[in-house]
Structure formats: structure tokens, C-alpha cells
Amino acid sequence: MILQKLIHLKEKNIHFILCQLCLLFFIIIITSALQLFSKEAIYLFYCFPILFIYMFLHYFLFWYSQKELKRFYAFFYIINIVQLIIFSVIFFSIYFLIFYKVQQYDDFQKVENCQIQGKQSKNLSGNEQYSINYVEIEYEDIKYLGYGCMSNQNEQNKIIQNIKPYYKTQKKKTNTQAKTQNNNENQIDDQDEDSCLDIYTFSKVKIASWMCQSNNLEFQELIKPRSCYIYFFGNKEKALENGINRQQIKDINDFILVSFNYPYHYPQNQFLCLIIFGYFPFIQSFGIIFYKFAFYLLKKFQKNKQAHDLANSEDAKTKVSSNEVIQNQKILQQNVLNQDIENEIKSLQNDKQEKNQINKQNINPNNNYQIDQNNQYLSQQINFNENKQKL
């Protein structure tokens, strides 16, 4: 009974390992393909240790508690289908509607000698103190004026705050003015027009709060030259032209965006949460594809192992049979040798008896010495043959 349980446990473990290896190979291919959409998808590989935790959870949920691999396939299939539907909606909706757009802005460049020349501040909706920074930068040995920012909400990286780094807006118009203008003039990039117009009217373009510096920095820290990261927002040629002409930042849509804090262009902690709680459960559900394939590999492995064990058993039997034949031949040879020795001893004994009888009949004192010599020789020969037989 205990041996059967151990064999069954080993079978489940092998099936689990085969299934997860196939799934891991599939995940590596899919994750590598996502690099084509955005190079930031490399963080999926960094989070792979979390994937192994999901694999062990699947083991204890499905494999460890089941007695028969075939019986729990229906349960395994239903759970993974539900998991696939739920987490695919969560992952694709959040990634492609939010993060994919954000990750298109990934061409930041590091430059030196960035210095704040001035700033304009405003209290937005009573809860954010937002400042536009006029930053002088040196790019390819030419000085430009760039657009930076400061905010007291730069550390509040919440999706509900508008995760997109920038959005355009205009001053709110009356209904009469809005009707007389072209609809294209009133469009706002991926934002709801009414909500954006009510929230922000300080400038044409606002940088997301989490990209700004903290407004608690000392004045001496702000004005000293340091390195920064720039991105050409809008049209690059137009942004360079506006920068070299030192156009008013508040009134332009194409400019050099300046960030002092980091070269990243989205809240990474939120993206990591999406990977851990969205992508990995979604991709883990594809285990249903490899369940039966792993079961097929397991059976094939077991058949090959049985054939190998059978071949080894036959070889062992053949080897044992060969040893028995050799041993029997040695015994037979020894028996033949012993029989020959016995026959020779009997022959010598018979010769001795015959000679003794002859000597008794023909007693001759002169021949006593010769008779003793012959008897002594025959005795030595018999003893030698007996010792040889014992050996």
C-alpha cells in the first residue's frame, strides 16, 4: 500500500513538472513577443519568481489533493477557463488602454547643465499645488528652453489620477462658441472633454503629477545646474524651434519636456501590480493546453522506462544463465578428473595386490629388499593420487 502511494505521488510530480515546463516555454515565447510592443515589457521577466509561486499554488490546489490524474481534468479545465476569461479582460483592458499608450513615450535622453530659470504656480481644484518650471537645457551644444514641473502630489501614483503623462486642454468655452468652431479644435487626447476642461485650464499641456519634482525642494537646490532627462513632446522639430526661440510654455503644444527625477515615463509600481495580479494569473491559465500533452509524455516516459527495465532484466537473466552454464561445465570437468584419479588409484591398488601375491608364492630372501622397494613406490603413488583427488 505504501509503495503504491509513493509510485502514485511520483507519477503526479512528474506530470506536474512536465506540464509546467511546457507552460514555462510557452510563457517565455509570449513574454518575448510582448517586447515588440514595448521594451518596458522586460519587467515581465524580472517578475518571474512570482510566476513560480503561482505554479506551486497550482500544484497544491490541483495535483497534490487529487488521487487520479484523469479524474480531475474536468475540474482543472473549468477553473482555468474561468481564470483565463477574467484575467484576460483585466490584463488587456488595463495594459492596452492605459500602459501601452504611456509606454510609447520611452525615448528619454539624458542631458547635462539643466537649470531652472523661473516658474509659475497655481492651486489646481484646491488640492494640488502645481508649478510650471522654465528649464534651460543644453542639447547638442545649443541652449533651449524646456518645460518641467513641480507638484505636491508627485508621490501619489494612483491610476485614478490620470496615469497618462500628459494631456491637452483648452479654456472652457460657452456653448455658442463651441458650436461655431470646428470639432477638431475641441478634441482632447484620449480624455473626456468636459471633465478635463473643468479640471485644468492653467496651460495647454499638463505634465502628470507623478513626473514632477517635489515642491518642497530648497531654492538653492532648484537653481543649481544638474543632469536631467528630456523628451520631445509633440513634433520634435517644432519642439526644438519653440525651445530655441524660448516660446511661452503655457501657450504651446510642442515642447521639450524635462524631468529631473527619473527617466521612467509611467508609475512602475502600478505596472508591477498589473504583472503580478493580472498577467501571471492570465498566462498561468494556459496550463489547460498542456495538461493532456504532459499526460501523454508521462505515459510515453513510463512505457520507455518499463521497456528499459525489461531489457535490463532479460540481460541479467542471460548473464545468470551464462554463469550457471560455466559453473556446470567446471563441475563436470572436475567430476571427470576425479573419476580418472579414482580409476588410476584402483588400478595401482590392484597391481600392488597382484604383486604381493606373486611375492608370497615366490619367496626369495634375496628379493625381499626389491619387494620392499616396489611396495614403497606403490604406496607413494597411491598417496599422491589421493592428494591430487582432494585438490
pLDDT of residue 179: 33
**Whether residue 131 has pLDDT greater than 60:** yes
pLDDT digits (tens, 9 = 90+) for 313-322: 666 666 656 6
Confidence class of residue 22 from pLDDT cuts 50, 70 and 90? confident
**Whether residue 170 has pLDDT greater than 50:** no
Give, in order, the Cα–Cα distances in Å from 141 to each of 137, 144, 361.
Answer: 10, 10, 145
Q: What's the rounded mean pLDDT across residues 338-349?
A: 68
Do 19 and 291 meet the contact criterion of CB atoms below 8 Å apart? yes
- H helix and E strand count, the chain: 13, 8
- Number of Cβ within 10 Å of residue 364's Cβ equals 9
Average pLDDT, the chain: 72
pLDDT of residue 144: 93
**Whether residue 271 has pLDDT greater than 50:** yes
Query: How much of the chain exceeds pLDDT 90, in percent?
Result: 7
Higher-scoring residue by pLDDT: 189, 391: 391
In terms of Cα–Cα distance, which of 180, 191, 192, 207 is closest to 124? 207
pLDDT of residue 231: 87
Q: What's the rounded mean pLDDT across residues 371-381?
A: 59
Four-CA torsion 357, 361, 362, 368, nearest 10 degrees:
50
Confidence class of residue 243 from pLDDT cuts 50, 70 and 90? very high
In terms of Cα–Cα distance, which of 260, 219, 274 is closest to 99? 274
Q: What's the rounded mean pLDDT across residues 131-148?
A: 91
- Number of Cβ within 10 Å of residue 167's Cβ equals 17
Q: What is the full DSSP assignment across 275-314?
A: IIIIIHHHHHTTHHHHHHHHHHHHHHHHHHHHHHHHHHHH
Three-state DSSP state, 201: coil
How far apart, in whole angstroms, are the C-alpha atoms of residue 382 and residue 1? Answer: 66
pLDDT of residue 134: 92
In terms of Cα–Cα distance, which of 131, 136, 166, 163 is closest to 149? 131
Helices 73-94 and 287-361: crossing angle, nearest 10°? 140
284-316 CB burial, b ≥16 within 10 A, e <16 = bbbbbebbeebbebbeeeeeeeeeeeeeeeeee
Amino acid at 16: F
pLDDT digits (tens, 9 = 90+) for 61-92: 777 666 555 566 677 788 888 989 999 999 88
pLDDT of residue 2: 42
**Whether residue 191 has pLDDT greater than 60:** no
Do 144 and 256 meet the contact criterion of CB atoms below 8 Å apart? yes
**Whether residue 225 has pLDDT greater than 70:** yes
Return the domain boundaries, the chain: 2-103+273-285, 109-265, 317-390
pLDDT of residue 178: 31
Which of these ranges, 34-38, 94-98, 349-353, has the smallest mean pLDDT? 349-353
**Whether residue 378 has pLDDT greater than 60:** no
Three-state DSSP state, 156: coil
Query: How much of the chain exceeds pLDDT 70, in percent?
Result: 59
Confidence class of residue 240 from pLDDT cuts 50, 70 and 90? very high
Do 162 and 135 meet the contact criterion of CB atoms below 8 Å apart? no
